[in-house]
Amino acid sequence: MKKLLVSIILLAMALTSPAASRQHPCLLLSKDSVKEMKAAVGSVPLFDTSLAEVTENADKALEREICLPEPVDGGGGYSHETHKLNYFDMYNCGIAWQITGRRAYADRVKAMLMAYADFYPGLGYHPLDLSPVPGRIFWQTLNESVWLLHAAQAYDCIYDTLSAKERRHLESKLFRPYAEFIMNGTPDNRANRRTFNNLNNHATWANAAVGMIAIVMGDDELLRKALYGFDESGEAGFMRQLDVLFSPDGYFTEGAYYQRYALWPFVIFAQCLNRNRPDLDIFGYRDGILLKAVDALLQMAYDGEFMHFNDALEKGYDAQELVYAVDIAYLADPSDKELLWVADTYQHKVVVSDAGFAVAKAIAAGETQPLKLRSCMLRDGADGSEGAFVILRSPREEENTALTFKATSHGLSHGHFDRLNFAYYDAGNEVVSDYGAARFLNIVAKYNGHYTHENNSYAKQTVAHNTLVVDGKSQFGAKMGKASKSHPAVTACSLGGDVQMVSAEETLAYEGVRMQRWIFLADVPFLQYPLVMDLLRATSSAAHTYDYPIHYNGHMIQLSVPYERALTGMEVMGESNGYQHLWVEAKADAAEGTTAYTWLTGHRMYSLSCATSADDDIYLTRLGASDPDFNLRSEPAFILRHEAPSGSHLFASCLETHGKYDIKVEQSANLDRSCTGVSVLQDSEDCIRVKYGFKDGRAVLLSVDLSSGEVKYNVEYE
């Protein structure tokens, strides 16, 4: 039935949009919009500055000699970076030609494409044997796709300046073989064919790149392959990616960092399809999944930077991809005026395209509205059934507080073994932190810019996160295959209001250990800032060692118990599973009752108070041991260790944000924690009751009732 529908649509398309009649440019620009842009030059500030950047880069390109170095280097290396620069140069010159009409730009694009048409056919595989999907110009095919996506736009821009013969030459010598390689690889290596027909981010890039050059060339068959897979069955291809790569809430399973990257080909190709294949109603597809994905990504940020879970580096709203995503999403739905705020506040530029032009005009017209960040649950899995990533934000907007909780599926090859992990952001800082990826992208001196060994040996390990570690090991023995087969269950989630919470359960990460975590963000009337309350329970029929690590940014201020500081020699905390990377800066016996730890981040204090027994141990650690190549950052952590007999153990703690440390006027207040103690009043299978005591005899009574099979909780103040 589906196939039939597809066939009908294809037939309709073949009839209504014969390739030969397509006008150019036809991708992100059109003849009409270019006319409008030309007329508006000088009157739309953000567009003018963006255009100026493009023409400036295009001018720089003109100054350079055309150079197509032999492909030898990996990311960051000379040949790699030069070919990247080349596609940016072609792209910039193409756009500049369209808007300024200066012929030199078009000539440069033509000359470069012609050079590539000479260069490309002679290439074998790239000599660096680092990728299972090797490219020719670049070490991996992913970069080849990015090249083609840009080159297609450049070609589109100068299409009308070329003779039919020149086009035939470029298409037969360069674009068709190039697309064929991305789509099929070579007879002796079909890795690319597998990728092209796979359902993941690399496949999306491949689909989009092939689809865009297909549109420019007017090759409808090629476009169908991009949309529906090589066999045009619809089991693969761009449309299928839209079905499976995002959850119904727009969450991409690899997490925010890769969602940013994944979105790029999605939105660009979608924008091209929106113009050339309106019959697909691409932005309405799957209840508007692409716009939901843009929204979900914007939500997964703090102060404009994407949250650091899974293999994340520092990226934010100002990333190049987001400029595309925001502009294109706005053109698709001009009622979403909050997108303008992202462009105006963080990006300071637009894509020189129909979409960017619309954004710039709307900003100039004063239509911008502030982006509303909200508490939200982003379900994972194509059907939303595979756990969730949850963000709790303080209802008081001026507080800028966010707590994240990770109970998603593994996240493919970029996932970490971090089920039931949390992170805490406050006052502009990542206070309780997630290491993200151990990688120096593009820096050749650092393992060629790839993920370093320490990404596996530390960053992915459970102890690198703020969640339970059992017996000093990582969840699922750090085996991705095992971890990918299941996901935690979100057992409750309450968003909005003075008490927000989320809870989840995980029973497979450690054999024989049931992990439950309930985490609360509460506006407590007698406290200065929202209070995080954390209940983390492990239940097992065997005895275990449980570690409760809290990684933080900031400087150690105070530990409530005496500690033994490493003064003239320092040792590592363990031998494997990430512990080998932790220097033990100090060790302490916990108190019988409550142990509290305070650190300073920015202008505020953060005090963690934990219910402890005298047998518990405290470790203050610093990252960097067993790191021969200095690949890890030097970061501190607090680790509470409990030796548990069989049965259940509850880590009950709270994280209090307090104080003002204003060094400008040298005023400080409330630098001591208010929490006087954490008492577990009850911890039975069906019920947990914890009393958090505070100064002046105040208290928060937190109870969780599981007797009904559902999570019921109650928060009372004394």
For 586, list phi and psi in degrees, rounded to 5.
Answer: -160, 155
Amino acid of residue 595:
T
Among 124, 187, 481, 628, binds a second copy (CB under 8 A): 628
The answer to whether 604 and 510 are in contact (CB under 8 A) is: no
Least distance (Å) between residue 495 CB and a second copy: 32
669 binding a second copy? (CB under 8 A): yes
- Stretch in the footprint of a second copy (CB under 8 A) among 78-86, 117-125, 398-406, 506-514: 78-86
633 touching a second copy, by CB under 8 A: yes
- In this structure, the number of other CB atoms found within 10 A of the CB of residue 703 comes to 16
Which candidate, 457, 410, 413, 404, places its Cα nearest to that of 577?
457
Residue 555 interacting with a second copy (CB under 8 A):
yes
Does residue 658 contact residue 527 with C-beta atoms inside 8 Å? yes
Residues 579-608 contacting a second copy, CB under 8 A: 580, 583, 585-586, 598, 600
Run of H or E residues at 430: strand 429-432
Query: Does residue 668 touch a second copy according to CB under 8 A?
Result: yes
CB of 172 to a second copy, least distance (A): 31
Spatial CB neighbours of 204, under 8 Å, sequence gap ≥ 6: 238, 241, 245, 262, 265, 266
Number of Cβ atoms within 10 Å of the Cβ of 337: 16
Among 129, 567, 645, 708, binds a second copy (CB under 8 A): 567
Contact between 436 and 312 under an 8 Å Cβ cutoff? The reply is yes
Give the span between the Cα atoms of 658 and 452, in whole angstroms: 37
Please tell me the number of Cα atoms within 13 Å of 673 on its side-chain side.
Answer: 28
Q: Is 625 in the site for a second copy (CB under 8 A)?
A: yes
Min dist CB 615 to a second copy, Å, is 25
Stretch that binds a second copy, among 225-233, 310-318, 325-333, 698-706 (CB under 8 A): 310-318
Distance CA 614, CA 659 (A): 29
Question: Is residue 446 near a second copy by the rule CB under 8 A?
Answer: yes
User: Given the rule CB under 8 A, which of 249-257, 454-462, 502-510, 563-571 is the region that contacts a second copy?
Assistant: 563-571
Which stretch, 171-179, 201-209, 562-570, 683-691, contacts a second copy (CB under 8 A)? Answer: 562-570
Question: Which of 400, 491, 558, 676 touches a second copy by CB under 8 A?
Answer: 558
Q: Is 414 in the active site?
A: yes
| Part in contact with a second copy (CB under 8 A); list of ranges 94-102, 442-450, 454-462, 646-654 | 442-450
Note whether 386 and 244 are within 8 A (CB): no
441 near a second copy (CB under 8 A): yes
CB of 239 to a second copy, least distance (A): 28
Choose which of 68, 104, 570, 687 interacts with a second copy (CB under 8 A).
570
Query: CA 467 → CA 322, 389, 421, 458, 470, distances in Å?
Result: 31, 15, 5, 14, 10
277-283 long-range CB contacts below 8 Å, 24 or more apart?
A: 277/13, 277/17, 277/223, 279/9, 279/12, 279/13, 279/16, 280/9, 280/239, 283/332, 283/333
| Binding of residue 398 to a second copy (CB under 8 A) | no
Shortest Å, Cβ 219 to a second copy: 30
Closest CB to a second copy among residues 396, 712: 396
Residues lying near a second copy in the complex (CB under 8 A) are found at 76, 81, 84-85, 88, 313-315, 318-320, 440-446, 555-558, 565-572, 580, 583, 585-586, 598, 600, 620, 622, 624-630, 633-634, 636, 661, 663-669, 671-672
Would you name the residues annotated as active-site residues?
258, 414
